[in-house]
A and B are shown apart, each in its own frame.
Chain A
Amino acid sequence: VAGEKNPGEKAPREKKRGKKKTGEKKPAEQKPTQRAVGEKKKKVKKHHASRNPVLARGIGRYSRSAMYVRKALYKRKYTAPETKIEKKKKEKPRATIIKPVGGDKNGGSRVVKIRKMPRYYPTEDVPRKLLSHGKKPFCQHKRRLRASITPGTVLILLTGRHRGKRVVFLKQLGTGLLLVTGPLVINRVPLRRAHQKFVIATSTKVDISGVKIPKHLTDAYFKKKRLRKPKHQEGEIFDTEKEKYEITEQRKSDQKAVDSQILARIKQVPQLRGYLRSTFCLSNGVYPHKLVF
């Protein structure tokens, strides 16, 4: 009830303040001072309706002087805007500075303007945009993520050597690629990057809320390494490049660290392990546009 009272009380008080009726002003003034000062300042002044009722078109009930009193213009006195003379007489920031100048018989110093006039005025008002206007480099592109893909979603990979495999989504990396893991023991998909466009997001989600993904798993970590030192002649260049990919110990340890956390959660959902082990395929009578994923 106390809460209800206050807004009800405030509304008539606001109106009183707007109207500024002489008789009721004083008690109204006292009450607002009890309220917070901030509230007073934030309130938007409501314009009063015409205080001069119309008798006929163009003819009001009250004369000019009566209206002066009714509108309480004796209280509302506004000063005229500053004239140019007054502005000139105000303190202005320094416009010029005296700088010493070397050389013989030069006078020793010059008066230099601090803010100079522009040295060029273009003939067109709007400068021509460069051909590269609005073209941002890849690192500054906006990364988007489909609403259906959230951490813990089971995704179906559609391309690459792991096509058809169902995989758990971890997070989106800096370049926009998705960090994904099998987990390795379930379907031999390691910590890997996947492209959003080549992935089907299912509605099955694993609860990954407490899982901590190591911070060093970034795009640079996953980027393919290429040797770039072809000091040899053309015939020998192809030999120096790495032919076989070797799994580093760091990758193994990172895989274990992430998977151990996720496997525990997968075990809690019945049949989810078998689901992740299986692969997605189409058969007769199965139409992707009719399937609900």
Chain B
Amino acid sequence: VFKRFVEIGRVAFISFGPHAGKLVAIVDVIDQNRALVDGPCSGVRRQAMPFKCMQLTDFVLKFPHSARQKCVRLAWEKENINEKWAATRWAKKIEAREKKAKMTDFDRYKVMKAKKMRNRIIKHEMKKLQRLASKKGKKPEKPEKSEKSEKPEKAQKSAKVQKA
């Protein structure tokens, strides 16, 4: 049922508070509500932090409990947590949300145009397939073709959004 546990070395994402948005590693558990936490590679000093503001990630580091910052840093860099985190969907969603909030009026216009063009292409392909299907009676539709046409458009649209 539960897959991520609070353990020594668990990397957590801080969701609110002064260090919101940063990653930390759990170094030790103080009591039921707090943990000793350290984020040498993410700019968080070693401190106590309540569990409530931490959200557990999939990453676990290997170091003994109450290890000093240097050891935590070594383990962090050995596992390359920063790069792994940036590659997760979680981090990408956060980034996309930030970008969307920063969009200017001109960017919104460009996104609207890109979406419109993409939907048009998709609709066009769908209509083509529908016509084929209705023309030739009950011929089985080809799902691979629609997937293929959707993927290049998705890549185009994400590229446009990243440009903005």
Contacts and interface: CB of A to CB of B under 8 A. Distances in A.
A198 interface: no
Contacts of A156: 105
Interface string B92-103: 000000000111
A274 interface: yes
B101 to A, nearest CB: 7
A154 interface: yes
A218 interface: no
A271 B109 contact: yes
How many interface residues does chain B have, given as a range? under 10
A291 interface: yes
Contact of A292 (B102, B109, B113): B102
B104 A275 contact: no
Interface in A259-273: 271-272
Interface in B86-133: 101-106, 109-110, 113
A96 interface: no
A203 B107 CA distance: 10
A60 B113 CA distance: 89
Contacts of A68: none
A278 interface: yes
Interface in A232-272: 271-272
Contacts of B106: 154, 202-204, 271-272, 275
A271 B113 contact: yes
Contact of A271 (B103, B105, B110): B110
Nearest to A275: B109
Contact of A291 (B105, B109, B113): B105
Interface of B: 101-106, 109-110, 113
Given A203-B105, A272-B106, A292-B102, 4 more contacts: A166-B105, A203-B104, A274-B109, A278-B109
17 contacts: A154-B105, A154-B106, A156-B105, A166-B105, A202-B104, A202-B106, A203-B106, A204-B105, A204-B106, A271-B109, A271-B110, A271-B113, A274-B109, A275-B106, A291-B105, A292-B104, A293-B105
